[in-house]
Structure formats: C-alpha cells, structure tokens
A and B are shown apart, each in its own frame.
Chain A
Amino acid sequence: MNQDPRITAYAVGELEARERESFETELAASDSLHHEVESMSGLAKQLASAAKPTDRFTAGERVRLLAKCAAIRRARTVAKTSLKVVLWTTLGVAACLTIFAGLIVGMMVFPSSSPQSAPAEVAIGSTWIADSSDQIASPRRGSDIELAPAEPQARRAGVISDVAAAISATPAASASVRTYKVQPGDTLGSIARRFYKNSGQWQKIVEANKGALSDPTKLKQGTVLIIPE
C-alpha cells in the first residue's frame, strides 16, 4: 500500500494547484500510482454518495430551541443597547467636564482676558479713539504706529511721544484762554466794561491775575491779563 497522503488528498480534491500539477506529472508516469488513485477515488465517491444522516430534532424540540435562541438574541440586544447608552452618557459627561476644566484653566492662565480689563491689553502704539455714536471708548490699533516686538527702540520712543501728545490734547487743556494786553489809558473798570458790559466785574479780572497784578490800581501798559469767562 502506498503511504503517500497526496493520493487521498488528490482523490478528494484537496491538493493545491501547484501540488496537483506536480502530482499529475508523477501520476502519468506510474501505473501503480494511477491504480491507487482510481481505487481511492472510487471509495471516496461511495462514502460521499451514501445518504446523509436523518436524525433531527422533533418539531417541539426545534420550536423550543429557536425560542431559546430568540430570547438570547433579545437579551444580547438589550445588553448592547444599555452598554451604548452608558458609553454615550459617560462620553457626554467626560466632554462636559473637559470643557469646564478647560474654561477654568483658561481663566487661570489668561486672567486679563476678561472684558473689564481690556484696556490693560492695549499695547504701546495703540490709540484710544472715542466712538462718536455711543461715546464708549474702544481700542483700535493705529496701523501706522502698530509695533512688532522686534521693532527698533527709536521708533518705539516716537510712538510713546505720540501717545503723550494724544493724552495732553484733552478737552480741558485745549480750551481757548481769553487774554488782553493793557493799552494806555485802560483801567480795570474800563476793561471789565469792554468784556462784561459791566465795570463792576473788575474783581473777576483781579482774581484771575493775582500773580501779575501786584497793585490793582496801577496797571502797566503792555501787561497781558487773563480775562475769565
């Protein structure tokens, strides 16, 4: 008897393509091998062609089995759904906690980012410009004087002076001051009459010019007097 397992494997169609080609070459060259294969193929066909077994579940057993299977499937679906709900709830809570923690960390790391302290963030080179519509001052970067951190010191200094000039140009400082240069023959009464239409208002002029008038009764020609409103 030939002990080569390829004989049975060939008879039942289990050899792979390359192995089958190689075996068929041997088969063509050997009568005894050919006889072995024919004999084994005949036996395999007899075994395979025999009727299949007929043992089955009874109708009742089959119904009960399918019902049990369906119950297991339902339980599995419920468990799966519950798991999904728990998973999504956990993920949702985790996401909320992460966002909340992020906000807290953000407030701790960037405390100046709150709206109340916004002016503190205005960099050197920025200009405060009054909003004409609602009178609320808002920061606006002047593009011509905006500074990058690496810009030269000289330009930085120039910008600072711009800011100082802007600060000095407040409404109070820029209000016009009325003055009058004393002419020959002027008296405090005649000057008061000229500006206030009332010579009795001369004391206002004296009050405003205490430093310049050592003696109110003696006006010097050419003295510049401040005439208050």
Chain B
Amino acid sequence: MTPEQIITEALDNYESLLISYAREITGELESAKDAVQETFLRLSSQNLKVLHPRLRPWLFVVCRNCALDHVRKIIKFSADPVEDHERASDDPAPDERAMVSEEGRRIWDLVAGLPLQQREIVKLKFEAGLSYKEMAETLKTSVSTIGVQLHEAMQTLRARWKCETTEAA
C-alpha cells in the first residue's frame, strides 16, 4: 500500500470519527474540522510504513492534541477564557447523528452530560472502537485508569437512563 493510499484510506475510515471526537473537545464543528485537517497534514509528514500498524491510536492522539491546541488558542484570545472553555467542552453542540432508534439518540444525549474525560472515553470506546490500550495511549494515562473511568461513566449512564425510563413510564 502506497503512502497516498494509506492517507486516503485513513481519511475514508476515520474522518467522521475524528471530527466527532475533536468536536467533543472543541465544542463546535469548524474548529473540529481544522483539528482533523491538521492531523492529516501531520500524518503526511510521517513515515507511513512504520506508522501504519498503529495508525488508529496515533490519529486519535494527534487529533486530541490539535483539538486541545485549538481550545488553548480560544482561551488565550478570549476575554473570559475559563468560561469560554467550559462552555466549549462541557456543553457540546448536539451531534449531527443519525441514530438507528430514538432510544439510541436519548442515550447519547445522556453521554453529552458526562464530564469531558468520561465523554472522551465513551466516544473512543463505542464510537471509534478503540481498545483500552489504545485509549490509554490516546489520553496519556494507564489502562487501569481507563477501565475505572469507563466503568464510572457506564454506571452514571445506567443510573440516569433508569431515571429517565422510570419518569417516562
């Protein structure tokens, strides 16, 4: 596979996932796209034959860094940086998500209410399909921390989902 084919294939496979993941951090679509574009430009300057076996975690690590850079720029040039960052990260715009069911949409709405770190983990696991090890590499933490945080997020989601279904009933 040529480097150009690797880049095109990576764009086909991870474009939406990376935009969604970056949007979770930046809070809006255009800056998420900028972060993903920067990710692919950085990818182009790499030795792709060496990188190819671990391409997926690499893309998410770099995408995350680019999105965080964007958030830092917003903080730097904002009059009220902390509030702006919190708004960007903790109140993300709703995804343009085509859910298979109403139930699925409601669960992902509940995900949006989780803290940023847990949202990232849930997205990386259930949207992008990363393993614990790949998530640990992306988030620069340990595999056991990933396990604990995902379990906490799942427990919170389950409790909120139970409340929501009980209220609806």
Contacts and interface: CB of A to CB of B under 8 A. Distances in A.
Given A50-B105, A72-B44, A14 B131 contact: yes
Contact of B104 (A7, A12, A50, A70): A50
A34 interface: no
Interface string A44-61: 101111111111110001
B159 A1 contact: yes
Interface string B74-101: 0000000000000000000001111111
A51 B147 contact: no
A221 to B, nearest CB: 114
Contact of A76 (B15, B44, B103, B161): B44
B29 A55 contact: yes
B45 A46 contact: no
Contact of B33 (A1, A12, A57, A69): A57
Contacts of B20: 53, 55
Interface SS of chain B: helix
A8 B154 contact: yes
A55 B16 contact: yes
A52 B98 CA distance: 7
Interface of A: 1, 3-9, 11-12, 14, 39-40, 43-44, 46-57, 61-62, 65-66, 68-70, 72-73, 76
11 contacts: A14-B132, A44-B154, A47-B111, A51-B98, A55-B29, A56-B19, A57-B19, A57-B33, A66-B7, A66-B8, A66-B11
